[in-house]
Amino acid sequence: RKEVEQDPGPFNVPEGATVAFNCTYSNSASQSFFWYRQDCRKEPKLLMSVYSSGNEDGRFTAQLNRASQYISLLIRDSKLSDSATYLCVVNYYNQGGKLIFGQGTELSVKP
């Protein structure tokens, strides 16, 4: 079983739709959580950190459930420019800070 699991998609949605991505992680020692965005053939870029209390950045909302070892990302009012792969990431800062990535979920927003 992979340490971080995501539905690979693709998710094909119309502009303006709300889309939710889910992610589960297997190691309860995981300490920090992130969503990264990766455009085709580009490097991953940090989208947002994920906190137990939930956090929001504009149209993006991230949630963490430590008891269920579950992370989510909600995108509201999706734009064409949101088309990308979204990577769920966990981190163990007491193990050198290496990032453990999920497979990524591909999102395609259509006009």
Partner 1 sequence: DTGVSQDPRHKITKRGQNVTFRCDPISEHNRLYWYRQTLGQGPEFLTYFQNEAQLEKSRLLSDRFSAERPKGSFSTLEIQRTEQGDSAMYLCASSFNRALTTDTQYFGPGTRLTVL
Binding site for partner 1 (CB under 8 A): 4, 8, 31-32, 41-46, 49, 87, 89, 91, 93, 95-104
Residue pair 85/107 in contact by the 8 Å Cβ criterion: yes
* Interatomic CA distance for residues 71 and 108, integer angstroms: 21
* Interatomic CA distance for residues 31 and 97, integer angstroms: 10
Output the smallest distance, CB 23 to partner 1, in A: 11
Which CB atom, from 42 or from 79, has the smaller least distance to partner 1?
42
Which CB atom, from 60 or from 101, has the smaller least distance to partner 1?
101
Output the smallest distance, CB 104 to partner 1, in A: 5
Which CB atom, from 46 or from 80, has the smaller least distance to partner 1?
46
Report helix, strand or coil for 15: coil
Of the CA atoms within 13 Å of residue 17, those in its CB half-sphere come to 15
Output the smallest distance, CB 86 to partner 1, in A: 10
